[in-house]
Amino acid sequence: MSKLIGNAVFGQSGGPTSVINASAAGVFQEALKQENIVKVYGAAHGIRGILDEVLYDIGQEDSKELDLLKTTPSSALGSVRYKLANPDKDDTDYKRILEVFKKYNIRYFFYNGGNDSMDTCNKISKFMQKAGYECRVMGVPKTIDNDLWATDHCPGFGSAAKFIATTTMEIFLDARVYDTPMITVLEVMGRNAGWLTAATALAASKGYGPDLIYLPEVPFSMEKFLSDVEKVYKKNGKVIVAVSEGCKNEQGRYIPEMVKDNLAKDAFGHAQLGGAASVLAEAVKEKFGTKVRGIEFSLMQRCAAHIASLTDINEAYMAGQEAVRAACAGITDKMIAFERVSSNPYKCVTKLVNLSDVANTEKKLPAEWIINDGTFVSDDFVQYALPLIQGSPEYTLEDSLPRFAQLKKVLAKPE
Amino acid sequence: MSKLIGNAVFGQSGGPTSVINASAAGVFQEALKQENIVKVYGAAHGIRGILDEVLYDIGQEDSKELDLLKTTPSSALGSVRYKLANPDKDDTDYKRILEVFKKYNIRYFFYNGGNDSMDTCNKISKFMQKAGYECRVMGVPKTIDNDLWATDHCPGFGSAAKFIATTTMEIFLDARVYDTPMITVLEVMGRNAGWLTAATALAASKGYGPDLIYLPEVPFSMEKFLSDVEKVYKKNGKVIVAVSEGCKNEQGRYIPEMVKDNLAKDAFGHAQLGGAASVLAEAVKEKFGTKVRGIEFSLMQRCAAHIASLTDINEAYMAGQEAVRAACAGITDKMIAFERVSSNPYKCVTKLVNLSDVANTEKKLPAEWIINDGTFVSDDFVQYALPLIQGSPEYTLEDSLPRFAQLKKVLAKPE
């Protein structure tokens, strides 16, 4: 193994999470310690910051502020959804990245994101290798959706699941205070996988959860939905439904699109409609004539750092730290993944998986965990998810409000 | 002062809050200690539980569960929106209440709610007096809306304000992660008063708040709104707006109704539209063609006990406790109110106000606190609200999820 001495850059990509900055703290604090790494840079808005040469010199930051990153939600460096072209068709961006890497002597590239970002990492690494530029590239996983292949779970999921479970429990109580019928529809994120929506089952495991759970893994039928709701409604007059924003019918159309179709037939097609929760709440109201509430957990489920899971924070930090350690040990083209080596007591260690294997794959909820004719998840899911939401961090507060990390963001200079 | 010996009943009314059960704990634990009070009952669903004779014997509950009420959101006894008739026109309900009071030897009646509930208390007390039945009646204030007259603030407001401020700070970060323009509209509860919407200014005081705040106290104009947003948008491409669900135009029409009017003219009047946030998000999207997010804090703002204010919990408890002490000391027909005897350090004591003075009144945000041409609130509000959100309670958790109070709810027997 060659000793590679140079600078490191870290970027954040895709939708933010409550703990994405904990991975940043892990990368930064570990990289600042490593002898092979001279300077540590943070790229503004992921790959865009590299293309635009907006790199922050992390060595200039106060260590106290870097610590505060652990409890500061939402990409502190800024994120990006920019997708690099296929280098075989257009290598403009890759050439530019190589140019910037040379200019700043970047020899270590750490990228934090989901499967798209791992694809980006992989393409960049392959291009550097072809160009004969030595650079170690490591992916750090991140997604509240928990849909990355080859890892037991993803940093970000545990905290989002904890917010969803806790909030569902609270809403359960709120939705039952009156002695009148009421149907509540909760909308949860997850465009293709139902992990987050399933997290409402954690609330149910404590006795304060939804009656019905609709996942993107199961084709959605409005008729069946209304009949499922009717059964619960007739029995106890109160219904709580959790629905994934990603639910689609057999034709692959999302819930709001399904209704748009119907409206179109009625010549009201351009009426602006809400998300899945408001569409289903409306459908239920029409059928049962009862009081309904459609509630979207919206951005809160991915940024509610005030109810983050300490386990999630620690593991997100560890993922960042291990990416740096592996790269300094000579490893490249891998993503840090989690392996659950023991369930009781829960123990999780990191492992390395090929970037190329993770890129553009997707992990769905196991079919055997989906029960009750596609309207609930089994205890297997609860046992899987419960360890991931454990513990609360020590928060730094100011007037009982969060004190977020404040980075100076001093611009890096070329070598 | 006569010594009145008998049983006590407590009921919860109106929309729940994160700390409404802390007042219940205060009433119960104090009443169980008082010598004059023999048995302590909790009425299911407020006044309905008295009319229907569904009273729980609180003496049968575990003291540990009564303690847990302090961190359990949403009326543990059930709430009600039932409005008693004017006794001069129809005294059926009042006669029934008197009958139940006699049957259960109720001599102390504690009622927890907003201005409507204080009106209920007042009417019941007057009826009992006319009927020659000795009974002491005390109101315990409660409303996240903070709109009760004659009290510095209301139990429930501080915790809702803390959720709103914290969540706004987190959303502020989330809404800024991309380097592309984005407009976010946050919808906050408060049908007639802007106290809760103003709480987003607490987030702004820390540097992570909205640019514009729209309150029900200021007539809403869509034209002015769009022009206000445009000014901020042109300057920095990111806009966060907080809007009260209670904003109305000069004609007294709420925001969703305003749009419905326009749609009606276009013959699309029956299209189902969302709340203020989604209507404004849509309007902004149409005008600026930018990415928008409409976010409703929905039920979460009144039930997010996991981020409750300890000050609010303690004061809610104290209000319940003091109501019992006052009644046992011979006082009747009063509501417990809060007086801020010192701002720095913050010190709050209870005082007594006439039920008849509180009934059906409303306290709005002071006009002099509304600044920037009706689009923000002054530091006076921040100084007023900040002490009310301070501190976090010790939570009892199970698997890192809330352990709510579990009451046995043993039915009371007539004397």
For residues B70-95, average pLDDT = 94
Rounded to the nearest 5°, which phi and psi values hold at A79?
A: -115, -175
- Distance CA(A176)–CA(A193), nearest Å, equals 29
State which residues form the domain around A86. 6-143+305-360+390-402
Nearest-CA distance B150 → chain A (Å): 27
Does residue A42 form part of some domain? yes
Look-up of token digits 């309900």? B93
Q: How far apart are CA A250 and CA B350, in angstroms?
A: 61
> Residue B343, class by beta-carbon neighbours within 10 Å (0-12 exposed, 13-18 middle, 19+ buried)?
exposed
CB B195 within 8 A of CB B381: no
Q: Which residue of A lies nearest to B177 if distances are taken between CA atoms?
A: A78
Q: Could you give the count of Cα atoms lying within 13 Å of A97 in the half-sphere of its Cβ?
A: 29
| CATH number, domain with residue A66 | 3.40.50.450
The one-letter code for the residue type at B259 is V
Residue A337 to residue A363: CA distance in whole angstroms? 13
Residue A74 CA to residue B167 CA, distance in Å, equals 12
Shared domain for A275 and A394, answered yes or no, is no
**A315's tokens:** 């593991």
Rounded Cα distance between B212 and B194, Å, is: 13
Same domain, B167 and B247: yes
**Structure-token pair, residue A2:** 């060659």
Q: How far is A75 from chain B (nearest CA, A)?
A: 6
Show the tokens assigned to B12: 């919860």
d(CA A89, CA B393): 59
CB contact at 8 A, B304 and B73:
yes
Helix (H) or strand (E) holding B126: helix B115-130
- Residue of B179, B268, B401 lying closest to A202 (CB–CB): B401
Nearest chain B alpha carbon to A304: B170
With CA atoms as reference, report the closest residue to A218 among A240, A238, A239, A198: A198
Instruction: State the DSSP code for B374.
Output: T
* Overall average pLDDT of the B9-25 stretch: 97
Specify the pLDDT at position B73.
98
Pick the residue from chain A with its C-alpha nearest to B263.
Answer: A271
Residue finishing a domain among B264, B288, B303: B303
**pLDDT value at residue A1:** 56
Cα of B331 to nearest chain A Cα, Å: 30
CA dihedral B83, B87, B93, B97 (to 10 degrees): 110
Would you say residue B385 has pLDDT above 90?
A: yes
Same domain for B175 and B213, yes or no, is yes
Among the listed residues A109, A112, A29, A17, the one whose alpha carbon sits nearest the alpha carbon of residue A68 = A29
Q: Which residue, among B8, B42, B244, has the nearest Cα to B135 in the 3D structure? A: B8
State the ipTM, two decimals: 0.96
Contact A169 B278 (CB under 8 A): no
B145 in active site: yes
A78/B178 CB distance under 8 A:
yes
Q: What is the pLDDT of residues B355-379, one digit of tens each?
A: 999 887 889 999 999 999 999 999 9
CA pair distance A116, B25, nearest whole angstrom: 52
Look at residues A283, A302, A321 and tell me which one is the last residue of a structural domain: A302
Q: Give the nearest partner residue to B162 out of A271, A278, A400, using CB atoms.
A: A400
B372: distance to nearest CA of chain A, Å? 25
Whether residue B211 is found in the same domain as residue B238: yes
Q: How many CA atoms lie within 13 A of A288 on its CB side?
A: 26
In a domain, B382, yes or no: no
Q: How far is A300 from chain B (nearest CA, A)?
A: 7
Cβ contact A163:A385 at 8 Å: no
Question: Are A73 and B170 inside 8 Å of each other by CB?
Answer: yes
Q: Which residues contact B267 (CB under 8 A, 6 or more apart)?
A: none
B45/chain A closest Cα distance in angstroms: 7
Same domain (yes/no): A192, A94: no
Percent residues over pLDDT 90 in chain B? 90
- Do residue B286 and residue B311 come from a single domain? no
Which residues from B are below 8 Å from A399, CB to CB? 206, 386, 389-390
Note whether B181 and B170 are within 8 A (CB): no
Q: Please tell me which residue of chain A has the smallest CA distance to B176.
A: A78
Other CB atoms within 10 Å distance of the CB of residue A164: 29
- Contact assignment for B78 to A177 by CB distance below 8 Å: yes
- Round to whole Å and give the CA distance between A116 and A129: 20
Q: Which residues of A touch B402 (CB under 8 A)?
A: 166, 169-170
Name every chain A residue with its beta carbon within 8 A of the beta carbon of B165. 401
Contact at CB, A179 and B273, closer than 8 angstroms: no
Eight-class DSSP state of A254: B
A295 interaction partners in chain B (CB closer than 8 Å): 296, 298-300
Q: Do B166 and A399 touch (CB under 8 A)?
A: no
Which residues in chain A have their CB less than 8 angstroms from residue B274's CB? 274, 278
- Judge whether B380 lies within some domain: no
- pLDDT digits over A65-101, tens only? 999 999 999 999 999 988 899 999 999 999 999 999 9
B108 and B31 Cβ atoms separated by less than 8 Å: yes
B92/B96 Cα distance (integer angstroms): 6
Round to whole Å and give the CA distance between A242 and A295.
Answer: 10
Q: Looking at B166-318, which runs of residues are DSSP E strands?
A: 182-188, 212-214, 238-244, 291-296
Locate the chain B residue with the closest alpha carbon to A48. B179
User: Could you say which of B145, B147, B211, B312 is catalytic?
Assistant: B145
Give the pair of three-digit tokens for residue B100: 């139940």
Q: State yes or no: pLDDT of B77 exceeds 90.
A: yes
Peptide bond into A387 cis (omega under 30): no
Q: CB count, 10 Å around CB of A79?
A: 28
Indicate yes or no: CB of A298 within 8 angstroms of CB of B293: yes
CATH number of A225's domain: 3.40.50.460
Phi-psi category of residue B332: left, alpha or beta, with phi > 0 → left and psi -120 to 50 → alpha: beta
List B338's β-bridge partners, or say none. Answer: B350
Which of A112, A174, A188, A278 would best serve as a mutation to test chain B binding (most B beta carbons within 10 A)?
A: A174
Shortest CA gap B77–chain A (Å): 8
Measured distance between the N- and C-terminal CA atoms of chain A, rounded to whole angstroms: 25
CA–chain centroid gap for B322, Å, is 19
Structure tokens belonging to residue A177: 């205070």
Instruction: Give me the helix-helix angle, B310-328 and B20-33, nearest 10°.
Output: 40
Give domain status of residue A408, yes or no.
no
Contact criterion met (CB below 8 Å) for A377 and A216: no
pLDDT at B260: 67
Residues B314, A160: Cα–Cα separation, whole Å:
30
Asked if A279 contacts B271 with a C-beta cutoff of 8 angstroms, the reply is: no
Per the CB < 8 A criterion, the answer to whether B149 and B115 are in contact is: yes
- Chain A positions touching B74 (Cβ under 8 A) are 170, 173-174, 176-177
Domain match, B88 and B162 both: no
Interface size, chain A vs chain B, as Cβ–Cβ contacts under 8 Å: 175
Residue A81 is predicted with a pLDDT of 86
How many domains would you assign to chain B?
A: 2
List the single residue in B45, B272, B386 with the smallest CB-CB distance to A179.
Answer: B45
Please, are residues A28 and A42 in contact by the beta-carbon 8 Å criterion?
A: yes
* Smallest CA–CA distance from B200 into chain A, residue: A401
- A401 and B203 within 8 Å at the Cβ level: the answer is yes
HSE at residue B122, side-chain half, CA atoms within 13 A, is: 18
- pLDDT at residue number B259: 77
pLDDT tens for each residue of B152-211 = 999 999 999 999 999 999 999 999 999 999 999 999 999 899 999 999 999 999 999 999
Report yes or no on B351 lying in a domain: yes
Structural contact between residues A187 and A296, judged by C-beta atoms closer than 8 angstroms? yes
Name the stretches of chain A with pLDDT < 70. 1-2, 260-274
- pLDDT at residue number B281: 94
Q: A401 and B169 in contact by Cβ < 8 A?
A: yes
| Sheet strands (E) in A159-286 | 182-188, 212-214, 238-244
Smallest Cβ distance to A169: which of B75, B81, B402?
B402
Same domain flag for A51 and A180:
no
Taking an 8 Å cut-off on Cβ atoms, the answer to whether B74 and A399 are in contact is no
Structural domain contains residue B80: yes
B178 lies in the same domain as B41? no
Which residues on chain B are in Cβ contact (under 8 Å) with A12? 177
- Catalytic entry in A145, A152, A211, A312: A145
Chain A CB contacts of B79 under 8 Å are 177-178
Residues B71 and B132 in one domain: yes
Of A302, A318, A336, the domain-final residue: A302
Q: Provide the token pair at A218.
A: 């199961």
Q: Do B178 and A307 touch (CB under 8 A)?
A: no
How big is chain A by its Cα radius of gyration, in Å? 23
Contact between residue B82 and residue B48 where contact means Cβ atoms under 8 Å apart: yes
User: Distance between CA atoms of A86 and A89, rounded to whole angstroms?
Assistant: 5
Nearest CB partner across the interface for A390, out of B45, B171, B400: B400
Please, which residues bridge with residue B251 across strands? none
Which chain B residues are within 8 Å of A162, Cβ to Cβ? 400-401
> A303 with B174: CB under 8 angstroms?
yes
Amino acid at B284: V
Q: Determine, yes or no, domain membership for B255.
A: yes
| Position A366 in a domain | no
Closest chain B residue to A200, measured at CA: B401
Residue (of A25, A253, A301) closest to A143 by Cα position: A301
CA distances, A135 to each of A46, A110, A129 (Å): 17, 11, 8
DSSP A69: G
Residues B218, B243 within the same domain: yes
CB contact (8 A) between residue B272 and residue A295:
no
CB distance B309–A166 less than 8 Å? no
- Closest by CA to A413, choosing from A38, A15, A136, is A38
- Report how far residue A105's alpha carbon sits from residue A337's, in angstroms, rounded to the nearest whole number: 28
Backbone angles phi, psi at B407, to 5 degrees: -90, 145
Chain B nearest C-alpha distance from A3 (Å): 35
Regarding whether A321 and A295 lie in a shared domain, the answer is no
Closest to B306 (Cα-Cα) out of A285, A267, A384, A167: A167
* Pick from B305, B392, B400: CB nearest A170: B305
- Residues A326 and A138: beta-carbon distance below 8 Å: yes
Q: What is the 3-state secondary structure (H, E, C) of A200-226?
A: HHHHHHCCCCCCEEECCCCCCCHHHHH
- Residues facing residue B370 across a β-bridge: B377
